[in-house]
């Protein structure tokens, strides 16, 4: 039948308003081999879903198409025991909801920029890092890393050649139960390498929970420059936040129980942190084996021009301490902190250190510093979330020295104004901060 000119014209007009997809937006597959076939012909914007069950491909599934999402049918119920995924030279790929058990792996090579790794579980021992990120602009969020006992880290951020991965965003992950018994090599997160310490990574590590991070004294080990470590919670762990190498990193608003913060290198800012250590060493000015690290050095760089301000530091021994070394901390600042403990010397800095002390409040022991403090009860009260906060009438309210203009909020993310309060908490009857729990992070969190 020959269509009329009017009908043809109407069809043409309709086609200009109605978009008919040329491919299925969601493709469901049941086996690893069918997943590989679907990926080989995938189009940008497609979501390819692998069925529940245990999958053990002999080789990793290769991802060579950009702009696709590869997802488990239901988060946590599609398990790889070997194989896993291998990313090629792609962009903007999302991998979501899988369990990488046994020897199965997933890493992000340098050529796979813009990858998102979300709601996956890395469980058990792996031959190297559980997840390695080498590409720029990678987001690692809402994953669970658990039950590792051998040497190697949960998350390693690297880069190609002499470079370092840029703008990695690591957030809302759960790092749990690393029990490696060696003296070194079991960090939860290692950001960079010693020989790349001068490179600016511009990474943000925030809103992650670490529990039983006992594979290394460093839960978060930073070996690169210009990063932000903020709003994380560490509990029941020997691992600290450690600026092992590099310069100009900000450590803000972390809540640490039984852990602490240690730093080497230059020009860091450490502020608004709440550290409650049942022993000592809440803040550690790190050992100086050299004055400024060279590009290939693995030695400990002396802390230079590091500011430690507006923190609440609770302990029993030397709450603020320094490691001994050849070179003492130089041109550093310890200001407007609440330091509470029971030691005969709450601050124990290496002889020869040049530190500016001002506005600190110490209570329960001897300061150990010549000036820049008041010995007075800060009147801390414990809130319903277990955090010690300022009470009404505390001498810490409106008592800080100098401005430190970059400290515009407290650890609740509430605004600070006028003369700031001493410590991590700006007094406000509407406290909002709570330590992170398992409900806030990992594969099932909102």
Q: Which residues contact 333 (CB under 8 A, 6 or more apart)?
A: 306, 307, 308, 309, 355, 356, 358
- Indicate whether 391 pLDDT > 50: yes
338 lies in a domain? yes
14 lies in a domain? no
Residue 134, both tokens: 């080498």
235 lies in a domain? yes
DSSP, res 438: G
Are the C-beta atoms of residues 292 and 266 closer than 8 Å to each other? yes
| Residues 45-82: tens digit of each pLDDT | 999 999 999 999 999 999 999 999 999 999 999 999 99
Distance CA 152, CA 216 (A): 10
Q: Which residues contact 10 (CB under 8 A, 6 or more apart)?
A: none
231 lies in a domain? yes
Where do the H-state alpha helices sit in 262-419? none
Are the C-beta atoms of residues 156 and 131 closer than 8 Å to each other? yes
| Residues 336-361: tens digit of each pLDDT | 999 999 888 899 999 999 999 999 99
pLDDT of 22: 60
The alpha carbon of residue 113 and the mean position of all alpha carbons in its chain are separated, in whole angstroms, by 19
Distance CA 246, CA 229 (A): 13
Q: What is the full DSSP assignment across 203-221?
A: -EEES-EEEEE-SSSEEEE
20 lies in a domain? no
**Strand, helix or coil for residue 379:** coil
Q: Which residues contact 2 (CB under 8 A, 6 or more apart)?
A: none
Number of structural domains the chain divides into:
1
Quick one: which H or E segment has residue 147?
A: strand 144-148
Q: Which residues contact 141 (CB under 8 A, 6 or more apart)?
A: 116, 117, 118, 169, 170, 171, 172, 173
Return the percentage of the chain with pLDDT > 90, whole number.
84
pLDDT of 289: 86
Distance CA 163, CA 115 (A): 18
Query: Comparing C-alpha atoms, which of 309, 320, 273, 334 is closest to residue 420?
Result: 309
What domain range includes position 122?
25-440
By 3-state DSSP, what share of the chain in percent is helix, strand and coil, each rounded to 5?
Answer: 5, 35, 60
425 lies in a domain? yes
- Indicate whether 104 pLDDT > 80: yes
DSSP, res 180: -
CATH code, domain with 193: 2.160.20.10
**How far is the CA of 143 from the CAs of 120, 209, 221, 346, 398, in angstroms?**
5, 11, 19, 38, 41
Q: What is the pTM of this model?
A: 0.93
Distance CA 168, CA 138 (A): 5
Residue of higher predicted confidence among 9 and 96: 96
**What would the mean pLDDT of 89-94 be, rounded to a whole number?**
98
- Indicate whether 11 pLDDT > 50: no
Distance CA 217, CA 120 (A): 26
Q: What is the full DSSP assignment across 219-257?
A: EEEEESBS-EEES-EEES-S-EEEEEE-S--EEES-EEE
385 lies in a domain? yes
pLDDT of 279: 79
| Residues 281-336: tens digit of each pLDDT | 999 999 988 888 666 677 889 999 999 999 999 998 889 999 999 999 999 999 99
Q: Which residues contact 54 (CB under 8 A, 6 or more apart)?
A: 79, 80, 81
9 lies in a domain? no
């Amino acid at each position: 039948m020959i269509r009329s000119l009017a009908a043809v014209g109407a069809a043409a007009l309709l086609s200009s308003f109605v978009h008919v997809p040329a491919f299925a937006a969601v493709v469901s597959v049941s086996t690893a081999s069918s997943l590989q076939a679907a990926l080989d012909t995938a189009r940008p914007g497609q979501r390819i879903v692998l069925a529940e069950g245990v999958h053990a491909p002999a080789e990793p599934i290769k991802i060579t198409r950009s702009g696709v999402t590869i997802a488990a049918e239901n988060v946590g119920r599609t398990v790889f025991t070997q194989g896993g995924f291998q990313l090629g030279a792609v962009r903007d790929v999302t991998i979501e909801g899988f369990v990488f058990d046994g020897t199965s792996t997933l890493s992000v090579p340098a050529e796979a920029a813009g990858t998102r790794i979300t709601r996956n579980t890395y469980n058990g021992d792996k031959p190297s890092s559980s997840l390695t990120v080498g590409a720029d602009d990678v987001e690692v969020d809402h994953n669970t890393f658990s039950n590792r006992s051998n040497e190697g880290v949960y998350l390693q951020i690297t880069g190609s050649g002499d470079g370092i991965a840029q703008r990695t965003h690591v957030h809302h992950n759960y790092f749990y139960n690393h029990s490696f018994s060696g003296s070194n090599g079991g960090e939860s997160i290692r950001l960079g390498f010693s020989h790349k310490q001068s490179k600016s990574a511009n990474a943000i590590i925030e809103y992650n929970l670490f529990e039983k991070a006992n594979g290394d004294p460093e839960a978060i080990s930073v070996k690169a420059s210009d990063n932000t470590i903020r709003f994380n919670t560490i509990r029941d762990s020997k691992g600290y936040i450690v600026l092992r190498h590099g310069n100009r990193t900000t450590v803000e608003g972390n809540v640490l129980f039984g852990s602490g913060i240690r730093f080497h290198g230059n020009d860091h800012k450490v502020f608004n942190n709440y550290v409650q250590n049942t022993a000592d060493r809440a803040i550690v000015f790190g050992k100086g084996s050299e004055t400024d690290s060279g590009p290939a050095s693995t030695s400990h760089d002396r802390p230079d021009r590091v500011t430690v301000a507006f923190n609440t530091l609770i302990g029993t021994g030397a709450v603020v301490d320094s490691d001994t070394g050849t070179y003492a901390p130089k041109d550093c600042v310890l200001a407007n902190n609440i330091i509470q403990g029971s030691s005969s010397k709450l601050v124990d800095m290496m002889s020869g250190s040049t530190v500016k002390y001002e506005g600190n409040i110490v209570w329960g022991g001897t300061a150990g510093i010549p000036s820049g403090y008041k010995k007075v009860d800060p009147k801390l009260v414990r809130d319903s979330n277990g955090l010690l906060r300022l009470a009404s009438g505390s001498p810490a309210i409106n008592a800080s020295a100098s401005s430190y203009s970059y400290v515009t909020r407290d650890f609740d993310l509430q605004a600070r104004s006028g003369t700031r309060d001493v410590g991590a908490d700006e007094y406000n009857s509407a406290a909002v901060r709570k330590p992170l729990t398992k409900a806030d992070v990992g594969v099932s969190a909102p």
